[in-house]
Amino acid sequence: MNLFCTRLLKIIEIYSLPAAAFFVLISTSAFNFFIILTLIFGVFRIIQEKEYKNKISKKFMLYGILIFIFLILSTYYTTSGIENIIITLKKYIKFLYLPILYFYIKFHKNHLIIIKYLISGSMIILSLSYLQFFGIINFSLINDLLGFDLFRTMDKASVFQTSIVHGVVFSLVFYISFYMATKLKLGYKLSANISIFNSKIFFYLYSLLCLLNVIMMNDSRNAYILSFLLALLLIYYVFKKRKYLVTTIFMLLAFSFSITDVSETIFLKTLKEGYNDISLLKNNNYTSSIGLRSLWAINGINNIIEQPLFGNGVGSYENTIKDFIEENNINVDSSLAISNNPHNEYISISTQLGIFGLFLYILFMYSLYKESRKNILAAGVFIIISVSSIFNSAIYDNVLGLFIILSISLFYQKCFIGKI
């Protein structure tokens, strides 16, 4: 009986993070549950191994931990209330997950299982996404019945997550799937049991379906930029050792595709919406997506000017934007504008920790960049977090932040180094 329980716990431990990857787009609750379960197993293994000195094995882990520590220390001078302090610390505690998840994957060597489960879970959502887009199933009604508060964040492609999260995840899955197809040519196996996961045709086709879903069906400017940059990186990866003429031809084909009638609906629609948003800004109307982000950025710059060194303290952005709107008599819907999330990680960190905290986050990003230079998969993750930090609060966001932390822990493993 004890032997059975031990084996069962071992299986649960090995498959806890793969299960989290499987549920990232399907269920936020299940995703969070399996992440927490993995952290418990990870801490247990760290204590059991007794090699504490080597657990913070990458510089980006150190910088992330330092950011969280200084957020805690900033509670002594923050202008925020206790509720926002607690909420914000819960958001940024993800930085502490990095060394634990990294060690967990390194110890169990289950990176291929995690990739397989991530792709499997995304297959379910991708299928449902196509059904929703073509009007066969309407998940908006289901979300309304379940009471999901996803106002202005859902579109015809999103199912259970916002268009931002949907776009980010499928941009990375498109990238990973294409990469896996290239490795299968070299006899690389993702699964010993399931033949579909050892088919390069499947991965090429699935990669294409993910890309089309992002650029043709999902309404997220962030995702368009990500998919474009990741596609360019794949082109470089595939053709860098061949003649420059071949690379140039494929880059021209990619550009031609982006301006054809096939993609006209999405890209022209996005350009038109962006132009309209900018037109509203000229009349001091901040109600649009670009308008709100501009307002949050202006306030963020003002916060650095007023509190340059150590910022306003943890969870303080909501108070600063509220005061900024009142002091400048800005006509904007307060329910949309007043938020603790400025949708820009640099603005979020600098408001709370000043130039000092911003410098730590830049070091965090630079360390990620250095570690990704010889790792094609890590390079893709770096693009994800770089772009997401500009257009969204990458770490502050619950699902997006956890997905980024999971991706860093997974694809920055030494087993992927030298794959570029």
Side chain identity at residue 48, one-letter code: Q
Instruction: Give the other-Cβ count within 10 Å of 384's Cβ.
Output: 26
How far apart (Å, rounded) are the C-alpha atoms in residues 399 and 71?
21
Contact 407, 384 (CB under 8 A): yes
How far apart (Å, rounded) are the C-alpha atoms in residues 310 and 70?
9
Contact 420, 379 (CB under 8 A): yes
- The CA distances from residue 60 to 69, 177, 248, 408, in Å, are 14, 26, 35, 10
Reduced DSSP (H G I as helix, E B as strand, rest coil) percent helix, strand, coil of the chain, to 5 = 75, 0, 25
Q: What pLDDT is stored for residue 287 in this prediction?
A: 63
Q: What pLDDT is stored for residue 262 in this prediction?
A: 43
Q: What residues of the chain score a pLDDT lower than 70?
A: 1, 51-55, 139-156, 184-198, 240-289, 418-420
Contact 95, 68 (CB under 8 A): yes
Q: What pLDDT is stored for residue 254 in this prediction?
A: 58
Percent of the chain whose pLDDT exceeds 70 = 78
Instruction: Give the other-Cβ count within 10 Å of 242's Cβ.
Output: 10
Please provide the size of the chain in residues: 420
- The CA distances from residue 336 to 84, 151, 299, in Å, are 17, 11, 15
- DSSP state at residue 136: S
Mean pLDDT of the chain: 82
Contact 171, 384 (CB under 8 A): yes
pTM tops 0.75, yes or no: yes
User: Domain map of the chain by residue range?
Assistant: 58-109+284-420, 111-262
Q: For residue range 20-66, what is the model confidence (pLDDT) as tens digits?
A: 999 999 999 999 999 999 999 999 888 887 766 666 778 999 999 99
Side chain identity at residue 200, one-letter code: K
Side chain identity at residue 387, one-letter code: V
Structure tokens at 213: 């879903």
Q: For residue range 55-67, what is the model confidence (pLDDT) as tens digits?
A: 677 899 999 999 9
Q: Which helix (H) or strand (E) holds 180?
A: helix 163-184
Q: What pLDDT is stored for residue 247 in this prediction?
A: 56
Contact 314, 72 (CB under 8 A): yes
Map 29-80 to HEC letters: HHHHHHHHHHHHHHHHHHHHHCCHHHCCCCHHHHHHHHHHHHHHHHHHCCCC
Instruction: Give the side-chain half-sphere CA count within 13 A for 186.
Output: 6
End-to-end CA distance of the chain: 47
